[in-house]
Amino acid sequence: MRFFSDNAASVHPKVLEAIARVNQVDTAYDGDALSRSLDAAFSEMFECDVAALWVSTGTAANALALASLCPPHGSVICHAEAHIQIDECGAPEFYTHGAKLLLGQGEGAKLSPDSIRAIAGSIRKDVHQAQPHAVSITNATEYGLTYGAGDVSAIGALTKELGLRLHMDGARFANAVVSTGEAPADLTWRGGVDALSFGFVKNGGMSAEALIFFDPELAEATRYRRKRGGHLLSKGRYLAAQILAMLEDGLWLENARAANAGAATLGQAAGPRLVYPVEANEVFIRVKAEEAARLRAQGFDFYDWAPGEIRLVTSWDQPPHEVSALATAIAKL
Amino acid sequence: MRFFSDNAASVHPKVLEAIARVNQVDTAYDGDALSRSLDAAFSEMFECDVAALWVSTGTAANALALASLCPPHGSVICHAEAHIQIDECGAPEFYTHGAKLLLGQGEGAKLSPDSIRAIAGSIRKDVHQAQPHAVSITNATEYGLTYGAGDVSAIGALTKELGLRLHMDGARFANAVVSTGEAPADLTWRGGVDALSFGFVKNGGMSAEALIFFDPELAEATRYRRKRGGHLLSKGRYLAAQILAMLEDGLWLENARAANAGAATLGQAAGPRLVYPVEANEVFIRVKAEEAARLRAQGFDFYDWAPGEIRLVTSWDQPPHEVSALATAIAKL
Amino acid sequence: MRFFSDNAASVHPKVLEAIARVNQVDTAYDGDALSRSLDAAFSEMFECDVAALWVSTGTAANALALASLCPPHGSVICHAEAHIQIDECGAPEFYTHGAKLLLGQGEGAKLSPDSIRAIAGSIRKDVHQAQPHAVSITNATEYGLTYGAGDVSAIGALTKELGLRLHMDGARFANAVVSTGEAPADLTWRGGVDALSFGFVKNGGMSAEALIFFDPELAEATRYRRKRGGHLLSKGRYLAAQILAMLEDGLWLENARAANAGAATLGQAAGPRLVYPVEANEVFIRVKAEEAARLRAQGFDFYDWAPGEIRLVTSWDQPPHEVSALATAIAKL
Amino acid sequence: MRFFSDNAASVHPKVLEAIARVNQVDTAYDGDALSRSLDAAFSEMFECDVAALWVSTGTAANALALASLCPPHGSVICHAEAHIQIDECGAPEFYTHGAKLLLGQGEGAKLSPDSIRAIAGSIRKDVHQAQPHAVSITNATEYGLTYGAGDVSAIGALTKELGLRLHMDGARFANAVVSTGEAPADLTWRGGVDALSFGFVKNGGMSAEALIFFDPELAEATRYRRKRGGHLLSKGRYLAAQILAMLEDGLWLENARAANAGAATLGQAAGPRLVYPVEANEVFIRVKAEEAARLRAQGFDFYDWAPGEIRLVTSWDQPPHEVSALATAIAKL
């Protein structure tokens, strides 16, 4: 039973159907009708004019977003455990041509205005130091915490004060929206976010993420960078179709709701073992090595995260009986 | 009726079926069983041990290949009309970190050993000039010409003599194999090719190309560069499945044969109007502006290529009656 | 007798004296009084507010200038024989992070508006091609031709029309000013030049060139790029001192006049052997191999440039008797 | 009285004389007799065959060294307060094309084998993380501590075990040699160092540092990178002359001895106020704001380093009476 990651989950049948349905010929790259409809679809969701570009991976979305917000000689403030720092093999450095990541602290990989201010304040205003140009936050974070609208706007107010741009890595944006119950607009541009990596692959998609620019002009250079990065697929309509299928009838929210619910169940079972509150679809719990072994012996697959700590991730397609079984097993430890 | 490019063609039903079939959960990235089977599948086809990596676009395959063959301070010899020079918005320069492309001449975008030697010979052996490290040829070329095994091995002998590596952009490799009737091994490593961008998308695939290294050690750094470029999809099994479906029962050859046959028919109809011999699935013919207009008025869609010259590209899924209709229309001009 | 290049000439005694004189302690980097006086010195020369940064080499000046005018996904139009293309080992590609150089033609490495328009016009306005963002011209050119104020403003009008920025590689700017007799302002910003690499090393300096931005705001990011490129010397006052010594009492013009005069003498002697008119301090003449050998046997050192063609470069410190001797030798051939 | 940095000190008269003396014409770039003699001069000093390249700044030396030891997709382990991380505006990221710096801890900016092992051990061996390829240590450190031969060889043994290369930033290498009393060879290659940035500018030079490769083959690509970085000066003989003057009769040691002696005097005066032991030419002491103000009022110029902490740097040319005066003033606080 897979609890090691949502990134290996199955593709939602409606996404597969959408792919099969799209198989007429159309213009190549992103000139087709489906790709051209993305701006409107996301503008409606976000209640403002946005530019929306499909890409194949969250890493590409993040790296392209950062390249649009920070010059090669600048730096980006992010959490020391952010995905862009830890798990992208230097993609941000590659796409920004060598900008530095300045690493902040905070429980559960969550940055606070104070932690951002502390890092920004540590940089002298001279040419010997790579000046901060942007902040990147992950919502939900790599440890399953969420930034609510208040959190985002507090950070957004600070970035505005400091003259920085704001990026949100939303690989699990759907889980954050469902968890906070707040409007996508409130979690993003109304709070000051300039660019959002909007994840679908962990949430039932196959190979399409959306990169959303709340200032459409920011997207212009990114269209060239996307091509130059080898990310402009010639049959782009198949990516657009996946995203549109996820948006239709709120499938993205439905899937995230299912994943979050699974995590909530596990969280309740874990009780005092929880390392962080469960706010999305990730559950970190304290277990001894032999306890972890016992869970594995029952068929549960997951990552050891730190000594005495394991990570459990629930997915949109997690069978409820698997979740129940794991909850029971945890409770029995 | 679409004759403007094969890159917008439909996806072959067997590829779509393979995608639908793969929808069980497996390890993420390229650790799944399908991805892990690619090395063996291509090693059998090429009659030697190869490393095969999936990527989403031909541009990514080309740029990653060149980055593995040429350092940032080096240069790559290619044709002045090569796709890597003309149509990839600097992706080779991005992935190689600024290597230069040295541009050669030759009819139909085809390089000869003499043209390669001329360019290589024009570079002084000092640090003021970016020294050539690799040659890149396209088979079939951007104008639909092919390099046969003899052509490849003549170039390979020269690159060996000059201490250069050899890359083949095989966006239409299938068309070249079918056209020449020669073994994949003879068209590549036996002739000296070090890395091949093996295209499937123009030939019935959806979003998967293969990057083949004939020296598997060359692939090692590329695995990092692929991740760093944002090209390591988490559900990579869907790319592997596409490629495996194309290889099964020779579907890739069958599709290329269909596309080539269409071009041959058009070529015969065009007769003396042909700019280049028709050796793959592209046909360049001389027509006056009013003749082009007449063809368009009959519903044929294609690119003007140069003053008095149009390009017609046939695809694997081209309905034979469309080809016949165009052939007739050309003959009647 | 050295006629192979002006880049190996001796350092003018006044420059050496200025270096010796500066040896008091001051602030490091470019915060010292001498460095801080450069803006004013060049603003006076150019009759407008400029930002002037010292760097150690013409290659650094050129590459930094281009990086300020062209993004990584863009391209720069220059002559196929421009120094930035031929002799800088990819420094422009390094500093611009992979922008492409688009190569134009023209006698004597001189670009015309028509040649620039032709290249710009060959680029489709889509994301598959690296869009032109700048033009770079060399004055005097690599073959010793000059752009007069009229030439510059014709090109400047075109770049403005096309939305491009304009860079001038002035490694031999002094020779061009002397030769054309026109004001520095007329040869640069009044004609539309945005950034100038102003050379001193070939003209009696030791290790200091000036990078001039006619829009001082363009200089801001360059200050970071200069540091990041390792070009912010801690004892920058020694570079500023060299430049100021060259400017004092018009030493830069005096030196260029001497070098140009030498070339003029050689040009007259060469008569019909001249490949290009002599407009600066370089002379290209047609000689047979055995004639070249005869010159060498008399102690003249120079480069073979092409089959049947040699290059003679005169320097500010060329002893007149050496020039006369060579002129006589050429006339006797 | 300047105690803010050694990087603004005057140039030693013998260096200026050497510059004046070299003013004959010779080949350009690094082909002249002086430049060509550097390999031999340093090979003698280091008792092994080395390749020695001049560059203009320590930042260039460091960044070029790291680019030769670490690929773009790799990472370099260094101290969190290393100059390459804090004060080079991303030059290492620029020259390595985006390699990451992994930051370790340790008193006085000094890395221990344990701290290096901890960082290396935190990186998973998969393509999602930039794998460590090199370690960089600074000797003397940014806080004036030294690595003795034993320290270096302990680190060198570890890097060998881990398959990493070892770089030493020797901006104050002379101070470390004088302080430890150990042979240059013992402080470098015998302990496992692959490349050394050998500083002269802080120690009486003007604009020349040496980049030493203990494996001469490592230097080959660096020659291209130096040109490409704009660091191949055409009159390179003036850089070589500076370095040779510094080496002659042990001037580099004599100067470092003077600077270290000054710091020792200050250290003794500071006694319990010392933050770190004084092992080179930097002294960090705890003073209250009003005490600092009192020192400044007496004409001493220095940097505040942290709240309640100031940095005093002594230079080769520090007049002994200034040192005595400052020592007295500190003692009187």
| Residue-wise DSSP of B88-137 | STTHHHHHHTSPEEEEE--GGG---HHHHHHHHHTS-SSTTS--EEEEEE
Give me the domain span that covers residue A242: 12-249
Q: What residues of chain D lie within 8 A of the CB of A73, using their CB?
A: 89-90, 94
The yes-or-no verdict on residue C297 having pLDDT over 90 is yes
Q: Which two tokens stand for residue B194?
A: 């070090």
Packing angle of the helix pair B173-180, B251-270 (nearest 10 deg): 70
Residue pLDDT, tens place only, A188-243:
999 999 999 999 999 999 999 999 999 999 999 999 999 999 999 999 999 999 99
For chain A, what is the mean pLDDT? 97
Residue A165 belongs to domain with CATH number: 3.40.640.10
Q: What angle do CA B112, B115, B121 make, to 5 degrees?
A: 135
Q: Which three-class secondary structure state does DSSP give residue C294? A: helix
Residue pLDDT, tens place only, B271-296:
999 999 999 999 999 999 999 999 99
Report the C-alpha gap between C312 and C304 in whole angstroms. 9
Report the C-alpha gap between B60 and B195 in whole angstroms. 13
Q: At residue C177, what are phi and psi to the nearest 5 degrees?
A: -65, -45
CA separation, residue C321 to residues C2, C232, D233 (Å)? 12, 41, 29
Residues A28, B10: C-beta atoms closer than 8 Å: no
Concatenated DSSP letters of B152-207 = HHHHHHHHHHHT-EEEEEETTHHHHHHHH---HHHHTGGGT--EEEE--GGGT-SS
Q: What residues of chain B lie within 8 A of the CB of A55, using their CB?
A: 230
Given this model, what pLDDT does residue A92 score? 98
Given this model, what pLDDT does residue D27 score? 86
Q: Which contacts (CB < 8 Å, 24+ apart) does range C251-255 have?
A: C251/C12, C251/C14, C251/C204, C252/C174, C252/C200, C252/C203, C252/C204, C253/C174, C253/C177, C253/C178, C255/C12, C255/C174, C255/C203, C255/C204, C255/C316
Residues B86, C129: C-beta atoms closer than 8 Å: yes
Q: Which three-class secondary structure state does DSSP give residue D18? A: helix
- The amino acid present at B272, given as its one-letter code, is P
Asked whether the beta carbons of B8 and B201 are under 8 A apart, the reply is no
Q: What is the mean pLDDT of residues B11-37?
A: 91
CA C258 distance to own-chain centroid: 17
The yes-or-no verdict on residue A262 having pLDDT over 80 is yes
Given this model, what pLDDT does residue A23 score? 75
Report the C-alpha gap between C280 and C261 in whole angstroms. 8
Q: By the CB < 8 Å criterion, does B221 face chain A?
A: no
Does residue A178 sit in the same domain as residue A237? yes
Establish if D1 belongs to a structural domain: no
Q: What residues of chain D lie within 8 A of the CB of C64, using their CB?
A: 230
Concatenated DSSP letters of C48-102 = S--EEEEES-HHHHHHHHHHHHS-TTEEEEEETT-HHHHSSTTHHHHHHTSPEEE
Residue pLDDT, tens place only, A101-158:
999 999 999 999 999 999 999 999 999 999 999 999 999 999 999 999 999 999 999 9
Q: Mutate which of C85, C89, C101, C124 to test chain B, going by most B C-beta atoms within 10 A?
A: C89
Establish if A160 belongs to a structural domain: yes
Tokens 């010159």, located at residue: C295
Side-chain-side CA neighbours of C138 within 13 Å: the count stands at 29
Q: According to the 3-state scheme, what is the secondary structure of A25-55?
A: CCCCCCCCHHHHCHHHHHHHHHCCCCEEEEE
- Residue where one domain finishes, among candidates A220, A249, A278: A249
Nearest by Cα to A180 from A205, A147, A152? A147
CA separation, residue D235 to residues B205, C204, D18, D32, D324 (Å)? 57, 11, 14, 9, 41
Establish if A3 belongs to a structural domain: no
Asked whether the beta carbons of C91 and C84 are under 8 A apart, the reply is yes
Q: Is residue A32 very low, low, confident or very high in pLDDT (cuts 50, 70, 90)?
A: very high
Establish if A113 belongs to a structural domain: yes
- Quick count: other Cβ atoms within 10 Å of Cβ D328? 11
Does residue A165 sit in the same domain as residue A260? no
Q: What residues of chain D lie within 8 A of the CB of A93, using their CB?
A: 93, 98-100
Concatenated DSSP letters of C145-180 = ----HHHHHHHHHHHHHHT-EEEEEETTHHHHHHHH
Given this model, what pLDDT does residue A99 score? 98
Given this model, what pLDDT does residue B297 score? 97
Residue pLDDT, tens place only, C144-173:
999 999 999 999 999 999 999 999 999 999
Report the C-alpha gap between D109 and B3 in whole angstroms. 65
Q: Is residue C221 very low, low, confident or very high in pLDDT (cuts 50, 70, 90)?
A: very high
Q: What residues of chain D lie within 8 A of the CB of C56, using their CB?
A: 56, 207, 230-231, 233
Side-chain-side CA neighbours of A249 within 13 Å: the count stands at 4
Q: What residues of chain C lie within 8 A of the CB of A225, using their CB?
A: 72-73
Residue pLDDT, tens place only, C182-194:
999 999 999 999 9
Q: What angle do CA C136, C63, C281 make, to 5 degrees?
A: 60
Q: Which two tokens stand for residue B1?
A: 């009726």
Nearest by Cα to D239 from D75, D34, D71? D34
Report the C-alpha gap between C274 and C266 in whole angstroms. 10
Residues D127, A93: C-beta atoms closer than 8 Å: no
Residues D127, B227: C-beta atoms closer than 8 Å: yes
Q: Kindly give the pairing relationship between strand C165-170 and strand C195-198.
A: parallel
Report the C-alpha gap between A204 and A225 in whole angstroms. 27
Nearest by Cα to B243 from B298, B197, B194, B276? B197
Given this model, what pLDDT does residue C23 score? 75
Asked whether the beta carbons of B66 and B78 are under 8 A apart, the reply is no
Establish if C4 belongs to a structural domain: no
- Residue where one domain finishes, among candidates C249, C271, C300: C249
ipTM above 0.95, yes or no: yes
Q: Is residue A8 very low, low, confident or very high in pLDDT (cuts 50, 70, 90)?
A: confident
Given this model, what pLDDT does residue D8 score? 83
**Which residues, 6+ apart, have CB-to-CB distance to A82 below 8 Å?**
A101, A109, A136, A138, A142, A169
Chains touching chain B through at least 3 C-beta pairs below 8 angstroms are A, C, D
Does residue D103 sit in the same domain as residue D146? yes
Nearest chain C residue to D225 by CA distance is C89
Does residue B183 sit in the same domain as residue B311? no
The yes-or-no verdict on residue A25 having pLDDT over 80 is no
Does residue A31 sit in the same domain as residue A172? yes
Query: What 8-state DSSP symbol labels residue D223?
Result: H
* Type and span of the H or E element at B41: helix B38-46
Report the C-alpha gap between D309 and D140 in whole angstroms. 20
Report the C-alpha gap between A61 and D259 in whole angstroms. 52
Does residue D319 sit in the same domain as residue D236? no
Residue pLDDT, tens place only, B155-197:
999 999 999 999 999 999 999 999 999 999 999 999 999 999 9
Asked whether the beta carbons of C150 and C182 are under 8 A apart, the reply is no
Given this model, what pLDDT does residue A24 score? 75
CA of C221 vs chain A CAs: smallest distance (Å): 8
Residue B268 belongs to domain with CATH number: 3.90.1150.10
Q: Is the peptide bond before A140 cis (omega within 30 degrees of 0)?
A: yes
Q: What is the mean pLDDT of residues B60-65?
A: 98
Does residue D173 sit in the same domain as residue D41? yes
Round to the nearest angstrom and report the end-to-end CA distance of chain C: 18
The yes-or-no verdict on residue D207 having pLDDT over 80 is yes
Q: What is the mean pLDDT of residues D30-46?
A: 97
In terms of C-beta density within 10 A (0-12 exposed, 13-18 middle, 19 or more buried), how is residue D106 classed? middle
Round to the nearest angstrom and report the end-to-end CA distance of chain B: 18
Nearest chain A residue to C233 by CA distance is A128
Does residue C255 sit in the same domain as residue C151? no
Q: Which of D73, D98, D129 sits opposite A86 (nearest CB)?
A: D129
Report the C-alpha gap between D294 and D288 in whole angstroms. 10
Q: What residues of chain C lie within 8 A of the CB of D172, using their CB?
A: none
Q: Where are the beta strands (DSSP E) in A111-253?
A: 132-138, 165-170, 195-198, 209-213
Helices (H) and strands (E) in chain B, counts: 15, 10
**Which residues, 6+ apart, have CB-to-CB distance to C117 below 8 Å?**
C158, C162
**Which residues, 6+ apart, have CB-to-CB distance to D124 below 8 Å?**
none
Q: What is the mean pLDDT of residues C51-59?
A: 98
Residues D228, C27: C-beta atoms closer than 8 Å: no
Asked whether the beta carbons of A50 and A213 are under 8 A apart, the reply is yes
Does residue C191 sit in the same domain as residue C294? no
Q: Is the peptide bond before C259 cis (omega within 30 degrees of 0)?
A: no
Does residue D70 sit in the same domain as residue D31? yes
The yes-or-no verdict on residue B322 having pLDDT over 90 is yes
For chain B, what is the mean pLDDT? 97
* Residues β-bridged to residue D195: D167, D213
Q: By the CB < 8 Å criterion, does C45 face chain D?
A: no
* Residues β-bridged to residue C311: C284, C303
Residue pLDDT, tens place only, D130-183:
999 999 999 999 999 999 999 999 999 999 999 999 999 999 999 999 999 999
Q: By the CB < 8 Å criterion, does A183 face chain B?
A: no
Residues D226, B97: C-beta atoms closer than 8 Å: no
Q: At residue B305, what are phi and psi to the nearest 5 degrees?
A: -105, -40
Q: Which two tokens stand for residue A279?
A: 């706010």
The yes-or-no verdict on residue D17 having pLDDT over 90 is yes
The yes-or-no verdict on residue C176 having pLDDT over 80 is yes
Q: At residue A60, what are phi and psi to the nearest 5 degrees?
A: -65, -45
Establish if C178 belongs to a structural domain: yes
Report the C-alpha gap between C282 and C145 in whole angstroms. 8
Given this model, what pLDDT does residue A27 score? 86
Q: Which of A68-72, A120-124, D23-27 has the lowest average pLDDT? A: D23-27
CA separation, residue D41 to residues A10, D50, D136, D167, D210 (Å)? 65, 9, 25, 21, 11
CA of B225 vs chain D CAs: smallest distance (Å): 7
Does residue D130 sit in the same domain as residue D146? yes
Establish if C43 belongs to a structural domain: yes
A106: left (phi over 0), alpha (psi -120 to 50) or beta: left
The yes-or-no verdict on residue D48 having pLDDT over 80 is yes
CA of B53 vs chain D CAs: smallest distance (Å): 13
Residues A55, B230: C-beta atoms closer than 8 Å: yes
Query: What 8-state DSSP symbol labels residue B12?
Result: P
Given this model, what pLDDT does residue C146 score? 98
- Residue where one domain finishes, among candidates B221, B249, B277: B249
**Which residues, 6+ apart, have CB-to-CB distance to D8 below 8 Å?**
C25, C26, C27, C28, C234, C235, D2
- pTM for this prediction: 0.98
Domains in chain A, number: 2
The yes-or-no verdict on residue D23 having pLDDT over 80 is no
Establish if C243 belongs to a structural domain: yes
Does residue B203 sit in the same domain as residue B67? yes
Q: Is residue C27 very low, low, confident or very high in pLDDT (cuts 50, 70, 90)?
A: confident
How many beta-carbon pairs under 8 angstroms link A with B?
143
- Cα-Cα-Cα-Cα dihedral sign, residues A124, A126, A129, A135: positive
